[in-house]
Amino acid sequence: MDKVLLILSHGSKAESITEITYKMRDSISAKNLYSDVKVAFMEFNSPSIPEAIADICKEGAAEIIALPMFLYKGNHILHDIPKELKKAREENPYVTIYMADPIGFDERIADILIERAEGALCQI
């Protein structure tokens, strides 16, 4: 196992919300860009970030890309996730762990939001 993408999601008590994370995982996995695509959650769901990273390391990954499925740089992105990744790096010095940026501003997101707004007009 070479490069593993680890999608980081906030997590939720609502199962329908976590399903979106797994659908995203499946969609990215189908593109065959990474040796594996896994998910981890900040709160409410399993696996947690430390649990997921431990499992990935046991499977022999050389690199892990932690990809936050968050819109902006709030406390989880600025503090919580870096803290978890720092600890994981210390516990697994033979694995390189990267952290990607959150989604942030992107014209493609603006287009999706416009599409949703226009769709709301059709519901009246």
Active site residues: 10
Q: Three-state SS for 39?
A: strand
Both tokens of residue 6? Answer: 């680890």
Cα separation, 109 vs 84, whole angstroms: 28
* Residues 6+ away with beta carbon under 8 Å from 118: none
- Report which of 14, 111, 12, 1 is spatially closest to residue 69, judged by C-alpha positions: 12
DSSP 60: T
